[in-house]
Amino acid sequence: MRTRALLFPVLTVLSLALVCPAQETPPHPLKVKVTAEQANLRERPDISSAIIQQIPEGTILQVDKKEGEWFLVRYTLEDGGVIGGYIHESLVTVVGESPPSATPPAGPPGSVSRGPARGVPAAAGPAGRQSLIPVDIDVSAGISTVIADDLNNGARGLAAYNGALLDLASSGSIASLHLAYVLGVELTYRLSPWFGVTVGTEYLNGWRSGTVTYAAENVSPLLPPMTTTHVSLQAVPVKIGVRFFPGRDFYIRGSLGYYTAKAGYDDHLVNPDGTQERWNGTATAHTLGMEVGAGGEFAVGRNLLVFGEAGFRLASLDNFSGSGTFSDATGTATEESGTLWYFQKIGANGATYNLLLVRTARPSEEGVVGARAAEVNLSGTVFRMGVRFRF
């Protein structure tokens, strides 16, 4: 009887232990640290979901659970309030244990409503950051190759033609225009972290000058007979395009542009007797062009990046129209308005010389051959570097 009396409470305790096992000690809470310059806390685990809060780099967040590539976290505001939301795994690094796969606890105080996950792109986007206003503003400078053969040949041809006309030996050379400087501004609206549309403009400017002197007797050494030439080229394209980020800090781009270009020449002849002659003129043309390229960017501040890119432009212009002036040895000036023509003229020695002038009508006087509208080709490589303001 005593044995039964002692056995009954022991069995009772064991039965209760089997029916109501002791509660497991909860695991240590998972925490993550923000590694992007600024991370977006979103309402749902979706890249297109509304942004609740922007969280600065270095912030430690408590994790409630992980859904695919998203962490459900709690963020404490400056006033002590706590909000909940989703943050993409590419913007943080884990600093605690992995969360359990079981259903997580209820959302933190002050958290917003959450819907079903719809998935996000694998990449976190350019420079690993997102923003409330998805806009980039670029300011850049660089160089571009140009093909200005008609301008270059016209300047060299005039210097040689003057030497043949004076029947004097020449020395010196006329440099060729092959490079132009570019300054640009561009705005990009990011439709997603990896894709954006762009609109922008730039200013392209190139010029070259040269001097050829002629050997003559009894002339002033301060002002010997010579020809000086100056050719110039400016262009302003208005461009629209797209930018795509296949990697975190690498992008490719393409654009279409409407180009307005101005070509100019300014040539000056000093005769052996000291009299002077001058040819100058400018003409403009328009065309459509395109450009493709690739580049990379590097973050240097909260909203500031530096970038460099290389590309290839395709744009050719002809049918330049404008005005030109010729001043003869007596100082009388004659102005013509019309087309910028490129042609050959036969000199007194029977040789043919290339010339470039604005004329009202196609040059057809005696000794002129092969007249056609002058051409300038902006096609070539482009190299740019600049700063990018990301908002």
- 256-302: pLDDT as tens digits: 999 999 999 999 999 988 899 999 999 999 999 999 999 999 999 87
- pLDDT higher at 291 or 48: 291
Count other Cβ atoms within 10 Å, centred on residue 373: 17
Q: What is the pLDDT of residue 103?
A: 36
Is the model's pLDDT at 123 over the cut of 60?
A: no
Highest-confidence segment of 58-67, 79-88, 215-224, 249-258: 249-258
311-322 pLDDT, tens digit each: 999 999 999 999
220 CB contacts (<8 Å, ≥6 apart)? 274
**Considering only CA atoms, which of 238, 237, 211, 235 is closest in space to residue 225?**
211
In 220-367 the beta strands, taken as DSSP E runs, fall at: 226-244, 250-270, 276-299, 304-314, 316-317, 321-327, 333-346, 352-359
Please tell me whether residue 155 adopts helix, strand or coil conformation. Answer: helix
Please tell me whether residue 231 adopts helix, strand or coil conformation. Answer: strand
**What domains can you pick out in the chain, each with its CATH number?**
26-113 (2.30.30.40), 135-390 (2.40.160.20)
Is the model's pLDDT at 156 over the cut of 80?
A: yes
Alpha carbon distance 251, 33 (integer Å)? 27
Q: Report how far apart, in Å, the C-alpha atoms of 244 and of each of 85, 111, 292, 319 are.
A: 28, 34, 12, 36
Q: How confident is the model at residue 52 (pLDDT cuts 50, 70, 90)?
A: confident
Is the model's pLDDT at 137 over the cut of 90?
A: yes
- pLDDT higher at 376 or 21: 376
Please tell me whether residue 174 adopts helix, strand or coil conformation. Answer: strand
Is the model's pLDDT at 168 over the cut of 60?
A: yes
- DSSP structural state of residue 127: G
Q: What is the pLDDT of residue 97?
A: 59
Q: How confident is the model at residue 247 (pLDDT cuts 50, 70, 90)?
A: confident
Q: What is the pLDDT of residue 24?
A: 37
Q: How confident is the model at residue 194 (pLDDT cuts 50, 70, 90)?
A: confident
**Considering only CA atoms, which of 187, 184, 183, 150 is closest in space to residue 285?**
150
Per-residue pLDDT averaged across 24-47, rounded?
A: 79
Alpha carbon distance 86, 82 (integer Å)? 14
Per-residue pLDDT averaged across 148-164, rounded?
A: 96
Q: How many residues does the chain have?
A: 391
Is the model's pLDDT at 112 over the cut of 60?
A: no
Q: What is the pLDDT of residue 28?
A: 53
195 CB contacts (<8 Å, ≥6 apart)? 242, 243, 244, 245
Highest-confidence segment of 61-65, 125-129, 230-234: 230-234
Exposed e or buried b per residue across 83-104, where buried means at least 16 C-beta atoms within 10 angstroms of its C-beta: bbbbbbebbbeeeeeebeeeee
Is the model's pLDDT at 8 over the cut of 60?
A: no
Q: What is the pLDDT of residue 167?
A: 87
Alpha carbon distance 177, 173 (integer Å)? 13
Please tell me whether residue 118 adopts helix, strand or coil conformation. Answer: coil
Alpha carbon distance 26, 156 (integer Å)? 87
- For the chain, what is the total number of helices (H) and then of strands (E)? 2, 22
Q: Report how far apart, in Å, the C-alpha atoms of 373 and of each of 43, 281, 314, 356, 363 are.
A: 62, 15, 20, 10, 10
Query: Would residue 172 be called left, alpha or beta, if left means φ above 0 and alpha means ψ between -120 and 50 degrees?
Result: left
For residues 85 and 111, is the Cβ–Cβ distance under 8 A?
yes
- DSSP structural state of residue 126: G
For residues 112 and 39, is the Cβ–Cβ distance under 8 A?
no
